[in-house]
A = this chain, B = another copy of it.
Amino acid sequence: MTTIDIPEGSLFGLDNLPYGVFSTPGTQPRVGVRVGDSVVDLAVALGDDVFARPSLNAFMAQGYDRWVSVRARISELVRGEVPAEAVFPVSEVELHLPVEVADYVDFYASEHHASNLGRLFRPDAEPLMPNWKYLPVGYHGRSGTVVVSGTDIVRPCGQRKAPDEAAPSFGESRRLDIEAELGFIVGVPSALGSGVRTEDFARHVFGAVLVNDWSARDIQAWEYVPLGPNLGKSFATSISPWVVPLLALEAARVPTPEQSPEPLPYLRESSPWGLDIELSVLWNGQEVSRPPYREMYWSPAQMLAHMTVNGASSRTGDLYASGTISGPEKNQRGAFIELTWGGKEPIEVNGESRTFLLDGDEVAITATAPGSEGRIGFGEVRGRILPATEAKR
């Protein structure tokens, strides 16, 4: 048996306890929980085979009461002694995609982001569409290309047409961008023909991850009318490996910004699910933005209620993301197209003037939130750009 040391000021204290899927050389991926700088193998520590699987899905499907009781058991366990063979230094494990993603939906819930993108994509029109303040606008993305942090991102190719060009050309994206987002993972499904009320949010959603919704702006701008983004996004979406349970985010709950006009009844919340999460975007190691999640207009409870109000079912493993998190200040914008105003106002990164992503660039997004004791961390979602491989076709 061994005890687990939690360094002073760790973002992974007993008030966090995020879940992930890990492996060590020569072993199969299985569920672990992060405590300080250690990963605890839950199948071994708790003697429960639901954790001996390569995703969190089976555990998440067991429901809210199990989430509460397992969290309590882990908390008790790691305060005392843990079987030594269940504990690994986080630096020695490989982290995998934590969930088998069912459907992936991406929202557009930051008023600042939606307004900025409206100005950039449709300069001659009102930046916000008439529906934006009535419903959380969103669309389905490609769940098959959701990858775990650390996966290299191959620069996508596709059709691009600048406004001054007569016809599109094919080639690599020249305006490759990020979107710093938060993602929510459904644990308990809801049936076809029913819906999830805002007050039932925490009984369906298991936890949250960081999301980088890589975006090829030139491909997106040409393709997106009238059916929305497709190839400009579908080449890759990265998520962080640690799923922070909603149970760890109670202290982070805050009201959303004032919603006016008042939302329709199915979107009203009896208690708030805004979240005071601070993100940080690092471009080749330099922080270029600090997006504040508390500025998001629509809450994740409202997003889930909206997504299912038409009777659409939800499944264990559904992932839905907030859309780019941008605050009102320039240094709070969660996408480079906003930070550099469409590439027209470069920013300085490590002494160089930069707009969109170059091959070899690396982006990491991190986040922290108030926990019940100190601050808790989401870890990071990181990716590096590799040169296009398919541009010759």
Chain A interfacial residues counted at CB < 8 A: 70
* Chain B neighbourhood of A393, CB < 8 A: 195, 197, 265-266, 309
Q: Could you say which of B154, B222, B228, B313 contacts A226, with CB atoms under 8 Å apart?
A: B228
Report the Cα distance A32→B158, complex, angstroms: 40
Chain B CB within 8 A of A182 CB = no
Interface SS of A by simple majority: loop
B312:A131 contact, CB within 8 angstroms:
no
Give residues 174-213 of A contacting B (CB, 8 Å): 192-195, 197
Chain B CB within 8 A of A227 CB = yes
Report the Cα distance A315→B311, complex, angstroms: 27
Complex interface: stretch among A59-67, A135-143, A240-248: A135-143
Supposing A139-B140, A226-B129 touch, asked if A313 and B231 sit within 8 A by C-beta, the answer is: no
Supposing A103-B142, A195-B390, A264-B159 touch, asked if A223 and B313 sit within 8 A by C-beta, the answer is: no
Give residues 280-302 of A contacting B (CB, 8 Å): none
Report the Cα distance A215→B142, complex, angstroms: 21
A225:B131 contact, CB within 8 angstroms:
yes
* Chain B neighbourhood of A156, CB < 8 A: 310-311
7 contacts between A and B (CB under 8 A): A118-B226, A131-B159, A131-B223, A139-B227, A154-B192, A231-B310, A235-B312
Binding site for B on A (CB under 8 A): 102-103, 105, 108, 118, 121-122, 129, 131, 134-135, 137-145, 147, 154, 156-159, 161, 167-170, 192-195, 197, 216, 219, 222-232, 234-236, 261, 264-266, 306-307, 309-315, 318, 386, 389-390, 393
- A-B complex: 10 closest residue pairs judged by Cβ atoms: A228-B228, A156-B310, A140-B140, A139-B227, A154-B193, A227-B228, A231-B310, A234-B312, A235-B310, A235-B311
